[in-house]
């Protein structure tokens, strides 16, 4: 299998002169029925792909905003199984690839073979599992071997060069470059070394590089988008959707358009 669907979506977007914009949403925040509405809205608003977050009892890689959204979703009784079913129910209407972001334990509980078998029927073409680093990723990679589903790895820009290169070499779909030392959440500034780090990463990688963690303003989207192939925006989108501020979401997405000249 080529596992190219997510990669292609990003490259096509880049070819049209835009940076990729991948919003993160917490599935089930506001009830499971909002999932379809939010996904179709984001697709319409110009998202390149959508990262669908699965709530978890112990989200160690997440900051306050996403933790709270997760707790709201858990209170709604949302689970990975319910989300996969719901996604499958309106798959025909979704034209952009969905990527699921979940911690490992719900996936183990769902079953590695089962999730591999079910993803495509739900329109899911990528999995991001923050507590599954390269060293531990073998089993899931095996399970996904005969599918179109990419196992997307995160890379920390402060990691040693050899490690970054090893991850880049094994990368599928895109590389999720963590732009800050820390957890998800809103940040006011990024380190100055970021530019060099992202450039080295792009050079080492055969798949697109998206920058994520802490991107929260149109300004961030422009700056970091300019340094990478696109951005992932989490906490700011989650907050805006929670507050029903669709205009803010649109403004963020718009900031990723027409900006290939920057890079």
Partner 1 sequence: MTTETKGRYGKFGGQFVPETIMTALQELETAYEEAQLDPAFSKELDYYLKEFVGRETPLFFAERLTKHAGGAKIYLKREDLNHTGAHKINNSLGQALLALRMGKKKVVAETGAGQHGVATATACALLGLECVVFMGKEDIRRQELNVFRMELLGTKVVSVDKGSGTLKDAVNEALRYWVSNVEDTHYILGSALGPHPFPQIVRDFQRVIGDETRRQIVEHEGRLPNAVVACIGGGSNAIGMFHPFVDDQDVKLYGVEAAGSGISTGKHAAAIAGKQEGVLHGAYMYVLQDDDGFIQEAHSISAGLDYPAVGPEHCHLADIQRVQYDSVTDQQALEAVQLLSRVEGIIPALESAHAVYYAVQLAKEMKEDQLVVICLSGRGDKDMQTVRDALGGQSI
Indicate if the alpha-carbon torsion angle 144, 145, 148, 150 is positive or negative: positive
Rounded to whole angstroms, how far apart are CA atoms 91 and 238? 22
Of 56-85, binders to partner 1 (CB under 8 A) are 56-61, 63, 67, 71, 74, 79-81
Active site residue 195: no
Please give the Cα distance from 189 to 201 (Å, whole number): 20
Tokens representing residue 154 in the block: 């995160």
Catalytic residue among 51, 76, 118, 229: 51
Residue 166 has a CB neighbour count (10 Å cut-off) of 17
Is residue 145 at the binding interface for partner 1, with CB under 8 A as the rule? no
- How far is it, in rounded angstroms, from Cα 172 to Cα 76? 33
* Cβ proximity of 23 and 253 under 8 Å: yes
Nearer to partner 1, 130 or 226 (CB): 130
In the complex, what is the shortest distance from the CB of residue 163 to partner 1, in angstroms, rounded to a whole number? 7
Q: Which of 119, 178, 204, 231 binds partner 1 (CB under 8 A)?
A: 178
Q: Could you tell me if 202 and 227 are in contact, meaning their C-beta atoms sit under 8 angstroms apart?
A: no
Residue pair 32/82 in contact by the 8 Å Cβ criterion: yes
Position among 117, 121, 139, 170 found at the interface with partner 1 (CB under 8 A): 139
Q: Of residues 15, 44, 92, 135, which one binds partner 1 by CB under 8 A?
A: 135
Tell the residue number behind the tokens 């792909």, with chain if given: 49
| CB-based contacts of 14, cutoff 8 Å, min separation 6 | 20, 208, 229, 230, 260
Find the binding residues for partner 1 in span 202-221 (CB under 8 A): none
146 assigned to active site: no
Among the listed residues 29, 62, 172, 229, the single catalytic one is 62
CB closer to partner 1, 157 vs 252: 157
Confirm or reject binding of residue 37 to partner 1 (CB under 8 A). Answer: no
193 lines the binding site for partner 1 (CB under 8 A): no
Question: Which residue numbers are catalytic?
Answer: 51, 62
Binding site for partner 1 (CB under 8 A): 56-61, 63, 67, 71, 74, 79-81, 103-110, 130-136, 138-139, 153-156, 158-160, 163, 167, 178, 181-183
């Amino acid at each position: 299998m080529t596992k190219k669907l997510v990669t292609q979506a990003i490259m096509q977007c880049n070819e049209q002169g835009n940076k990729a914009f991948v919003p993160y949403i917490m599935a089930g925040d506001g009830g499971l029925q909002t999932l379809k509405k939010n996904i179709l809205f984001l697709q319409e608003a110009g998202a390149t792909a959508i990262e669908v977050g699965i709530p978890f009892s112990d989200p160690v890689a997440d900051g306050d905003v996403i933790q709270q959204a997760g707790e709201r979703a858990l209170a709604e009784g949302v689970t990975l199984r319910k989300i996969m079913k719901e996604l499958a129910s309106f798959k025909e209407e979704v034209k952009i690839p969905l990527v699921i972001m979940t911690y490992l334990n719900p996936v183990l509980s769902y079953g590695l073979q089962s999730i591999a078998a079910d993803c495509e029927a739900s329109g899911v073409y990528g999995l991001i599992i923050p507590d599954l680093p390269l060293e531990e990723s073998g089993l899931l990679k095996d399970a996904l071997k005969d599918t179109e589903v990419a196992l997307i790895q995160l890379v920390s820009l402060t990691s040693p060069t050899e490690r970054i290169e090893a991850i880049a070499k094994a990368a599928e779909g895109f590389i999720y470059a963590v732009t800050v030392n820390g957890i998800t959440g809103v940040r006011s500034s990024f380190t100055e070394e970021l530019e060099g780090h992202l450039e080295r990463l792009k050079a080492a990688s055969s798949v697109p590089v998206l920058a994520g963690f802490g991107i929260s303003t149109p300004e961030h989207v422009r700056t970091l988008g300019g340094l990478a192939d696109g951005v992932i925006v989490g906490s700011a989108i989650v907050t805006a959707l929670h507050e029903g501020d669709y205009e803010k979401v649109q403004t963020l997405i718009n900031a990723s358009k027409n900006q290939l000249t920057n890079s």
